[in-house]
Structures are given as structure tokens and as C-alpha cells.
């Protein structure tokens, strides 16, 4: 689609977010009248960054029909810029919802719904041999209808099978599984750990070690005591769920993941 046609198709409005590769705008698809999110990326950048963008677009295309994942409508060239049109989450991220709650803690009756919906997304991803690698409150969005969506696939990895391994140190440190922080091989079970930290984050208002800087957390996670929720941090069921997710032994996590169908 030419630059002229892009501007005929979409009306760009206010900035609603910013990532490492560009800004995200609220926009209107003039053909349908539907509100959309427009991620606009400058392609006049390093080759490895362009490769990362191509990787993200390829994954979004593959995930068009995935449940509880932000819907991808297409990408369009605008000179040296790429416009990626996606579903707009009018409710914002779970992180923004936490900021609006007392002590940044989400009530458990809402937490369990959010976790259930993220589990549905992960079940699809993992059966497709995809590791998200960055599950956290900022990457879980809520639509105006209340639908929960997993977003940001910029650092997701496509494996040859759901039993394949990776050894790349990538993700956001506070949510990182020990085997990832330790640069060991890991698989889809790394997402299960991050899911547990995400649940912990919603229950406590922040992830473990939130007072430490990223590089300190990366060094600490492989040797630190496994985080856990204490009595008073939620129901027994929630505390057990977090405990199930935060097993430091990946082989044990895989057994749990299989039982949870994630």
C-alpha cells in the first residue's frame, strides 16, 4: 500500500504508547470506522532491528486466529516507516489498571479471570511452539468489552517444536525464569515461571525484587529463594497456583504445564 493510500485508510490520532522500536498511536480505520492501534516503526535503522520487526510481523500473521492475542490487521509502508495496524485495547494494560487500584493490587476475583484468559493464549502459543518470553502486567491488555489479550511479540521465539530449547538471555529481568537469567537452555516452561511472577505482581502490587535494578535482578534470580505468596496475599488456591508456576526445576514445571494444558 502506497504512502498516500495509507493515509487515506487510517487516521492517526494521539500517542498511547511507546516501545523500543517506535510509537503506538490510537487510530481510526476509515474503511470500517473501527478504532485501531497503529504501531509506527522507522525502518531506517540497523539491519538487526529491521530483522526483529520482520520477525514480529511474521509471528503476528501466524497468530491472526489465536485466542486472547491482540488481533493483527496488517502492515503498510509509509516511506521509510512501517505502520502495523492492530486491535485497540480501550481498557489499557493490566499495569495501568493496577495503577488505578489501592496499593496497586488487583482484587482476586478479577485476577483469576485475567489469569484464565492469559492461560488460554499461552495454550495456543505453546501448542504452536512459540515462547512469548515477556509475560507481565504491561503486556496484558484489556479491551472495552473486557476481553483480555496478550500483546508484544517483539521478543517471542518460534521453536522447531514445543520440546525445543533456547539459550538467549532475553525478556524483562524481574519476570525472568532462573534458567533464562542463568543463560541455560530453556523452553516453553520459562513462560510458566513468568506467569507465576505476573500473578504475584497483581497480588502484591509489584514483582519480586522490585527495589533492585535490572542487572542486579538477573544475577540474583538463579540463586535467590523462590518467591511465594504468604497467607494474607490471596486465597489458598491463588497461593498454590503461584507456587506451582514458580518451580525452579524446569522438568517439574513441564509436568505442571502439561497438567494445566499450557
Task: Indicate which residues carry an active-site annotation.
Answer: 134
Distance, CA of 40 to CA of 24 (rounded, Å):
6
- Tell the residue number behind the cell numbers 484464565, with chain if given: 116
CA dihedral 115, 218, 57, 185 (to 10 degrees): -90
Chain-centroid distance, C-alpha 165: 20
What is the crossing angle of helices 236-245 and 189-204, to 10°? 140
164 burial via Cβ count (<10 Å: 0-12, 13-18, 19+)? middle
Amino acid at each position: 500500500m502506497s504512502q498516500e493510500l495509507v493515509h487515506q485508510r487510517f487516521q492517526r490520532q494521539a500517542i498511547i504508547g511507546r516501545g523500543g522500536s517506535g510509537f503506538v498511536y490510537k487510530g481510526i480505520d476509515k474503511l470500517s470506522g473501527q478504532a485501531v492501534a497503529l504501531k509506527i516503526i522507522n525502518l531506517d535503522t540497523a539491519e538487526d532491528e529491521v530483522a526483529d520487526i520482520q520477525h514480529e510481523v511474521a509471528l503476528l500473521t501466524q497468530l491472526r486466529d489465536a485466542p486472547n492475542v491482540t488481533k493483527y490487521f496488517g502492515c503498510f509502508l509509509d516511506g521509510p516507516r512501517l505502520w502495523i495496524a492492530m486491535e485497540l485495547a480501550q481498557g489499557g494494560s493490566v499495569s495501568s489498571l493496577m495503577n488505578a487500584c489501592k496499593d496497586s493490587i488487583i482484587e482476586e476475583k478479577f485476577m483469576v479471570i485475567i489469569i484464565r484468559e492469559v492461560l488460554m493464549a499461552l495454550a495456543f502459543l505453546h501448542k504452536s511452539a512459540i515462547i512469548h518470553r515477556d509475560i507481565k502486567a504491561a503486556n496484558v491488555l484489556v479491551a472495552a468489552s473486557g476481553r483480555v489479550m496478550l500483546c508484544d511479540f517483539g521478543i517471542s521465539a518460534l521453536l522447531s517444536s514445543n520440546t525445543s530449547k533456547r539459550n538467549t538471555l532475553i525478556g524483562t529481568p524481574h519476570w525472568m525464569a532462573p534458567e533464562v537469567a542463568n543463560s541455560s537452555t530453556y523452553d516453553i516452561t520459562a513462560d510458566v515461571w513468568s506467569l507465576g511472577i505476573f500473578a504475584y505482581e497483581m497480588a502484591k502490587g509489584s514483582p519480586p525484587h522490585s527495589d533492585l535494578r535490572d542487572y542486579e535482578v538477573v544475577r540474583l534470580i538463579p540463586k535467590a529463594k523462590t518467591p511465594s505468596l504468604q497467607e494474607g496475599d490471596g486465597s489458598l488456591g491463588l497461593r498454590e497456583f503461584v507456587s506451582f508456576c514458580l518451580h525452579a526445576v524446569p522438568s517439574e514445571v513441564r509436568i505442571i504445564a502439561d497438567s494445566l494444558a499450557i
